[in-house]
Structures are given as structure tokens and as C-alpha cells.
């Protein structure tokens, strides 16, 4: 079945630096790739997503890139701020809503 | 937050007891999901529903059952709770198959002693 690997599991950056989280997926039919942010004790919340017909998508300081050939996608956060500290999850699906999640990355932004 | 609530929010129970968790949504979303979240495993799908009385298994369904008698409610039952089912349980919904964005409920922290 579909598998999603996410790296790194923890990431520590200085405020103002960039952060990159990478995911690889196994199902070549996957066509939707969301990223969720989960603050401590809170629910996961969608921050950005990308569909397979698009190579890159940006929303202010965050961006996602997709390489279908290599079957990997990445989350880029620029000008990190302490409020970016959270656990980030990538996910993939071939449609119909059954998301397969990566293991999560705990991002720590140090002031 | 797509009008999703979960009850109870916290529960402590003993091994062997039955437990039912409730997810309630006010958005009239067709699809509903139950996930469990454990350290190092991300979110794993337990069961999902694609309509009233239509449910199917996810990747970690053993020991769990679900029911959906109304569009707005999706129940997760642990028939005989075990310590390995100690986890945080999240419900999620989305509107239709072509719209894959899922919205999550606030979660239920379940501890099985």
C-alpha cells in the first residue's frame, strides 16, 4: 500500500532562517499532497496543499514543491518565527480522501 | 474548524472495558474519518465513512468498530479496550471525494490502564 516517509523527524533553526521538510511517497497515482501544522495539544490544521498538476505553490512565507518523477515533495518555510514552532505532517492520497501521513517533523525556532 | 466536535475530550478507562468515542459535525460533510496519533507514527487511519451506514476499514482497524446512522455523527467503539489503544484519537471530515482537504476535530485523549 501507499507509504509516506518524512524527514527530518526534528529540526531546529534560528529565527529568520529557512526550514525545509521533505517527504517521499510510494504510490505513483497519488495526486494530492497536503501539509498540516499541529501545535502542542491542538488539532492538525491545513497550511498548504498541492495537486499533481502543479510543481510549486506559495503562500506568503511557506511554499511547497512537488517532483512527480522522483515522487517527493517538500515544505519550505522562509524567515522563520517562533510561532512557526510546531509539528508538521505531510500526507498523500490518490483521491477519495484516504490520506496517508508521514511520521511528522518537530520544528523548533529559537529566538 | 468545520464545526467538528469530539466527545469526550479526555477519558481514562480500564483494560477490558468498552469505550465509545463520538464525532459530531455540523457541515453536512459526506466523508468522515477516525485516526489515531502516536509518537513516531504520525496519524494512522482506523476507519472511515463515505455516507450513512457506509463504512470501511483503514490501516489499523483491528480492535475497533464504527457506526454512522446519521450524517452528522460518526462513532468509534473499542469493544474491549487494551493498553495498546492508549492514544489521541482525531476525527476528520471532508465534503466530497473530489475535495480532498480534511478538517480535524479537537481530539480525544484516551488512556487505558
> What sign for the dihedral angle of Cα A99, A73, A71, A28?
positive
Query: Would you state the pLDDT for residue A38?
Result: 97
**Nearest CA-CA distance, residue B45 and chain A, Å:** 8
**Nearest CA-CA distance, residue A16 and chain B, Å:** 27
Interface test with B, best of A31, A43, A54 (most B CBs within 10 A): A43
Cell 515544505 found at: A75
Residue-by-residue pLDDT tens, chain B, 113 positions: 569 999 999 999 999 999 999 999 998 999 999 999 998 888 999 999 999 999 999 989 999 999 999 999 999 999 999 999 999 999 999 887 666 788 999 999 999 99
Band of residue A1 on the pLDDT scale cut at 50, 70, 90: confident
Count of CB atoms within 10 A of residue A110's CB?
11
Strands A10-14 and A105-110: parallel
Query: Would you state the pLDDT for residue B77?
Result: 98
Q: Do residue A97 and residue B48 have CB atoms under 8 angstroms apart?
A: yes
Please name the residues between 24 and 63 in chain B that touch chain A, using a CB distance below 8 Å: 31, 33, 40-45, 48, 50, 58-59
Q: Do residue B43 and residue A46 have CB atoms under 8 angstroms apart?
A: no
Asked if A15 and A80 touch (Cβ cutoff 8 Å), the reply is yes
**Nearest CA-CA distance, residue B79 and chain A, Å:** 24
pLDDT over threshold 90, residue A92: yes
Query: Would you state the pLDDT for residue B98?
Result: 62
- pLDDT (tens digit per residue) in A56-83: 999 999 999 999 999 999 999 999 999 9
Q: Give percent helix, percent strand, percent coil of chain B, each to the nearest 5.
A: 5, 60, 40
Query: Would you state the pLDDT for residue B100?
Result: 77
- pLDDT (tens digit per residue) in A24-63: 999 999 999 999 999 999 999 999 999 988 899 999 999 9
Rounded Cα distance, B49 and B55, in Å: 4
Query: Would you state the pLDDT for residue B43?
Result: 94
Asked if A105 and B58 touch (Cβ cutoff 8 Å), the reply is no
Q: How far is CA A56 from the centre of its chain?
A: 13
Asked if A33 and A92 touch (Cβ cutoff 8 Å), the reply is yes
Amino acid at each position: 500500500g501507499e507509504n509516506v516517509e518524512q524527514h527530518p523527524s526534528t529540526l531546529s533553526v534560528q529565527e529568520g532562517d529557512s526550514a525545509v521538510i521533505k517527504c517521499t511517497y510510494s504510490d505513483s497515482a497519488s495526486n494530492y499532497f497536503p501539509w498540516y501544522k499541529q501545535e502542542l495539544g491542538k488539532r492538525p490544521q491545513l497550511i498548504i496543499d498541492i495537486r499533481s498538476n502543479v510543481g510549486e505553490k506559495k503562500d506568503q512565507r511557506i511554499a511547497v514543491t512537488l517532483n512527480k518523477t522522483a515522487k517527493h515533495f517538500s515544505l519550505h518555510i522562509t524567515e522563520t518565527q517562533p510561532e512557526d514552532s510546531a509539528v508538521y505532517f505531510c500526507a498523500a492520497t490518490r483521491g477519495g480522501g484516504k490520506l496517508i501521513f508521514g511520521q511528522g517533523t518537530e520544528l523548533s525556532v529559537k529566538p | 474548524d468545520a464545526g467538528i466536535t469530539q466527545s469526550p475530550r479526555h477519558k481514562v478507562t480500564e483494560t477490558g472495558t468498552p469505550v465509545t468515542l463520538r464525532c459530531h459535525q455540523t457541515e453536512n460533510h459526506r466523508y468522515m474519518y477516525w485516526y489515531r496519533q502516536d509518537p513516531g507514527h504520525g496519524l494512522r487511519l482506523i476507519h472511515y465513512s463515505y455516507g450513512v451506514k457506509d463504512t470501511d476499514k483503514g490501516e489499523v482497524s483491528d480492535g475497533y468498530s464504527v457506526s454512522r446512522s446519521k450524517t452528522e455523527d460518526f462513532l468509534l467503539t473499542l469493544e474491549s479496550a487494551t493498553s495498546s489503544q492508549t492514544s489521541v484519537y482525531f476525527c476528520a471530515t471532508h465534503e466530497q471525494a473530489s475535495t480532498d482537504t480534511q478538517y480535524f476535530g479537537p481530539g480525544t485523549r484516551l488512556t487505558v490502564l
